[in-house]
């Protein structure tokens, strides 16, 4: 499935489940992504556990998927072309020097 299609699906599901009944602030939506990343970090700290929601995957995979879904939903709600931006940014990154010219981290 393309990123564009994933974005459309993530946003459709969020709308159908009431997450867009009221206007959403960008700050709130982006901080929810941060929350999912923090949950992924916590899952890593507690060793690899299976996800209760999607048993064929780990809790870390579930939380990272939640972060991506929230990003896709936000992009869909804002009418952004995340798929196009991802492709363009990856092409740009491929041309950058090793460690972007000397960055340590």
The whole-angstrom separation of Cα 82 and Cα 71 is 9
Residue 21, pLDDT score: 96
CA separation for the pair 51, 43 (Å, rounded): 10
The rounded average pLDDT for each run of 10 residues, N- to C-terminus, in the chain (105 residues) is 96 97 94 98 88 95 98 97 97 92 73
Query: Under a CB-based contact definition with an 8 Å cutoff, are residues 92 and 83 in contact?
Result: no
What domains are there in the chain, each with its CATH number? Answer: 3-102 (1.10.287)
pLDDT at 41: 96
Residue 105 confidence (pLDDT): 65
> Model pTM?
0.90
């Amino acid at each position: 499935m393309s990123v564009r299609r994933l974005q459309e699906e993530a946003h459709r599901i969020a709308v159908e489940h009431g997450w867009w009944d009221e206007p959403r602030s960008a700050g709130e939506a982006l901080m929810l992504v941060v929350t999912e990343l923090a949950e992924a970090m916590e899952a890593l700290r507690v060793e690899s556990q299976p996800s209760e929601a999607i048993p064929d995957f780990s809790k870390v995979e579930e939380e990272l998927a939640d972060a991506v879904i929230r990003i896709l939903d936000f992009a869909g709600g804002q009418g952004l072309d995340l798929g196009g931006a991802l492709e363009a940014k990856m092409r740009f990154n491929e041309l950058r020097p090793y460690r972007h010219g000397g960055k340590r981290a």
